[in-house]
Structure 1
Amino acid sequence: MEDFFINTLGTSEGIFSFIILPFLIFLARIADVSINTIRIIYVLGGRKMTATILGFFESFIWLMAIRQIFEHLDNWICYVAYPAGFATGILVGMMIEERIAYGKVIVRIITRKEVYHLLAFLSARNFRYTQVKAEGPDGHENLVFTVLEREHLDELLFKLKEILPSAFYTVERVNRAAESGTIVQETTRWSIASWLKSIKRD
């Protein structure tokens, strides 16, 4: 790579060593850490082929980055670019994960007000729900459970604030969902196996 920039493109050694190379290492770390985040999502979701392909590119990019580090051990800027890219990659990976919104979540809604309009909305959007009559410290309360795809969560919360602005709600990932005896989604809880697969060599 050094020969390409210096001999082919005519870049000076100083510019390559102190600007181009650290920048490329920085970008490589952002790419492989972001891919790692996405890969974990698909591993937990049971997408074996997708996770395998992502794992290949993740390892390949990491290998290219660490190779450049060892070839330029005397370049201190690379030592800054490498962890900076790793940290930035975590942020970028989290942003991508939010965009993908893969998996299911369970939303628990608690309110003392009537929930007719909320249930009508859930029914219209074909969201499965369960309503429970409950008692709290202040008397009668309505408890509504619903499980939905993460991509629809913002829509539900927006409607909830419009219909029941004072309602209390919680949101969490679904570990396992099943319907008619068929598993819809496997566990999304971190296991030791999935944790070991996600270990990064830093």
Structure 2
Amino acid sequence: MGGMSADTSPFDKFVELDLETFKWQLMPAMPTPRYATFAFLVDDKLYVIGGRQGKIPSVAFEMFDFDTRQWTSLPDIPSKRVFAMYATDGKHIFSVGGLLQPANQGFSDICESYNIEKGTWTTCQNMPTKRGDFAVGIVGGKLVCAGGLGNDGKPLSVVEVFDVDSNSWVGVTDMPSSHCSCSYTMYSEQLYVCGGLSCRGPSNSMEALRFD
């Protein structure tokens, strides 16, 4: 979905790989060309959110229905940021943190939640730590934000957890290492944070978070 062309212009292309034939085919193009987006598959629908057009952050939020093979434009992300992070618990799509625009305003503590059933955005309790470019996932039904880059210009080890039902944040034990621009993934109800940049330079550390 999307991406950047050779002349750095954003793409609207959407292509599909058939895993039986290993052949690519064009799908209906996205309504908004952009790159550096996030995408989530919820049931039979694909949600594509955020991204950039050049240095300008995109607030576009669109959904592709695989049954009808049509795109629908959803309500824009409420606030414009780059390096914001996104996650879904299957009922909500969260938009958290990022670099405010203009960039001299620094990193953001914004937390916004899109209710998939209702089709509406809610501005939630602010994240305790302003940051961008961090690891994010759903652990034990709660949104976890780990590491990232803070307004002091240093990678963070701070971990904070958001409960959408109580609209509240709580801090948990810091990661053993600081991470920003890191890789991360969910596996077996755990959030794994790998590599990236630490306060000591490039990192080869990997940590996992779970709630017992």
TM-score range, shorter chain: under 0.3
Structure with the bigger percentage of strand: 2
TM-score (norm 2): 0.19
Give TM-score scaled by structure 1 length. Answer: 0.20
Higher helix share: 1
